[in-house]
Structure 1
């Protein structure tokens, strides 16, 4: 077992949708601020399409490990991996080098599905809406995951829908 905690971060609609046409189908300013505070300074793992949804440049203050079988991305804060296994190894090394004890998995759908077997924790923003989309989050199995904290956030001027932020811990962790 690694000394580096692996955490999934995702915003998920009631119907499981996390994305549409390479973007999120909502605006959640409160959630983005929390996400930034929880991930800045820590290595993040993303798939190529998710990285491209950031405008093709890394999120500020985070080293990125991008999983892609295609072309490399030339940026000092981007490291390329060919598989999730390789990405986790690279991100753990980066975390140790930076004095961090956590890496973050940011998607997309295929990466989340693969990472569910490897991560220790999930920080999920449950979006209280059913939305159209083309990318879904895997089901959260209650025999594997237990909710350890929750926070309700109402919709507002900068938050399209009400949300419930839930931290899940792996039961066998």
Structure 2
């Protein structure tokens, strides 16, 4: 059975980002994201891919774009033109990740089996949002709270959901 996990950090109002940039800096969340996704295929939209200075190490990037001429010259990167194409590329994987952005999360929600959500305990103005989690379809399996500190400007919680 394949696990397709959406992984994101979203504010209380589901804000993800503004102008293709993150709204906060949470080093522990970056470390957790790296640990969870390393060694796996990660599916993302073109804008999310372009927000990275370079591809993330030790992960195969599957980039979704409507632009038929879009090309990436990096190794370990594949360009596709629909979520369905991306899902075909991970169907044999035991575990794969959807890493954003907002439009991709909304499209992928119906396909996901799990969600790893870092809930940032604040609200922000944003142009990209995580979909609402319907608690009749998703069961909260784990919750771990982290208060703000000298390295983290906001309180946040790691939430692990599984489709019911």
Question: Which TM bucket (shorter chain)?
Answer: over 0.9
Q: Which is richer in strand?
A: 2
1:30-76 CA-to-partner distances (Å, cap 9, x unmatched) read 11111111110000000000000112x21111000000121121211
Match of 1:98 in 2: none
Which residue does the alignment assign to 2:59?
62
**1:134 Cα deviation from its structure 2 partner:** 1.1
Q: SS of 1:106's equivalent?
A: strand
The answer (yes or no) to whether the contact 1:45–1:87 under 8 Å persists in 2 is yes
Conserved 8 A contact 1:9-1:122: yes
SS in structure 1 at match of 2:153: coil
User: What RMSD over aligned residues (CA atoms) do the two structures have, in Å?
Assistant: 1.0
Mapping of 1:1-173 within 5 angstroms?
A: 3-55=1-53, 57-70=54-67, 71-93=70-92, 95=93, 101-171=94-164
More moved, 127-136 vs 41-50: 127-136
Q: How many residues are aligned here? A: 162
Query: How big is each residue's C-alpha offset from its partner over 1:113-138, in whole Å with a ceiling of 9 and x where there is no partner?
Result: 01000010000000000112111111
Shift of 1:92: 3.2
Distance in 2 of aligned mates of 1:53 and 1:91:
23
Distance in 2, matches of 1:106 and 1:130, equals 20
Moved over 6 A (4+): none
2: CA distance between counterparts of 1:87 and 1:77? 14
Contact 1:152 1:165 in 2 (8 A): yes
Q: Secondary structure at the match of 1:46?
A: strand
SS of equivalent residue, structure 1 residue 105: strand
- TM-score, normalised with respect to structure 1: 0.90
